[in-house]
């Protein structure tokens, strides 16, 4: 199955599970996936750090779009308990290497990349979804932004080692990339 087709299948399955609760907001993404080692040929969600994001842990991403902008909800089940993770929307699909997911999606793109200037690397110009897991290893976050993704330019959500930094020269960084889930944002 091709990469694009597997994403389509994932989206369709999620819609079916929810029993058509989209409320007419066509085009927004719904993904439910299970993290796996980066070895299979169909990559939906990969983990590069089995201690923090064990294979078999689950992730869901819901995107809703409207006149006001875009709302993204991220939820996780079965991760390392009591840990804070950074999380962001990235520009490229997940791959077998952590760096495959590319840079952070930015509404107004910083001419200087990698972007660590707080004028661009901030939660109003990017999508930040940091969360802390509870005692069972579950966690969730949502973010609302006043804009829509450019089609095809936002492709994944990446989980990072620690909370996202905000200081000049470090803004948007959150340590190593621990895991990634493919999301076909619209």
CB of residue 101 vs Cu ion: minimum separation in angstroms?
8
Nearby residues of 90 by Cβ (< 8 Å), 6 or more positions away: 101, 102, 103, 104, 105, 154, 155, 156, 157, 158, 180
Q: Is 158 a residue that touches Cu ion (CB under 5 A)?
A: yes
Question: Least distance in Å: CB of 159 to Cu ion?
Answer: 8
Least separation in angstroms between CB 20 and Cu ion: 32
Tokens of 62: 């819901």
Using the minimum distance from each CB to Cu ion, give the nearer residue, 88 or 155: 88
Q: Show Cβ contacts of residue 122 under 8 Å, excluding neighbours closer than 6 positions.
A: 166, 171, 172
User: By C-beta, is 62 or 129 nearer to Cu ion?
Assistant: 129
What does DSSP assign to residue 98?
G
- Contact between 155 and Cu ion (CB under 5 A)? no
Cβ atoms of residues 14 and 31 within 8 Å = yes
Rounded to a whole number of angstroms, the distance between the first and last alpha carbons of the chain is 22
Task: Write out the binding residues for Cu ion, residues 23-42 only, by CB under 5 A.
Answer: none
Per CB under 5 A, contacts with Cu ion among 75-94 are 88
Q: How far is the CB of 97 from Cu ion (least distance, A)?
A: 15
Q: Does 44 bind Cu ion (CB under 5 A)?
A: no
Interaction site with Cu ion (CB under 5 A): 88, 158
């Amino acid at each position: 199955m091709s990469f694009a087709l597997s994403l389509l299948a994932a989206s369709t399955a999620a819609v079916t599970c929810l029993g058509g609760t989209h409320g007419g907001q066509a085009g927004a993404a719904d993904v439910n996936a299970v993290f796996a080692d980066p070895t299979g040929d169909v990559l939906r969600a990969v983990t590069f750090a089995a201690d923090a994001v064990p294979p078999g842990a689950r992730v869901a991403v819901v995107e809703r779009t409207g006149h006001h902008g875009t709302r993204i909800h991220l939820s996780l089940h079965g991760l390392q308990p009591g840990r804070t993770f950074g999380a962001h929307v990235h520009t490229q699909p997940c791959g077998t290497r952590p760096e495959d997911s590319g840079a952070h999606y930015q509404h107004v793109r910083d001419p200087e990349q990698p972007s660590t200037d707080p004028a661009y690397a901030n939660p109003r110009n990017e999508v930040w979804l940091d969360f802390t897991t509870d005692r069972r290893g579950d966690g969730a976050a949502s973010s609302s932004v006043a804009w829509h993704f450019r089609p095809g330019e936002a492709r994944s959500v990446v989980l990072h080692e620690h909370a996202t930094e905000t200081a000049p020269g470090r803004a948007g960084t959150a340590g190593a990339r621990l895991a990634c889930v493919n999301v076909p944002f619209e």
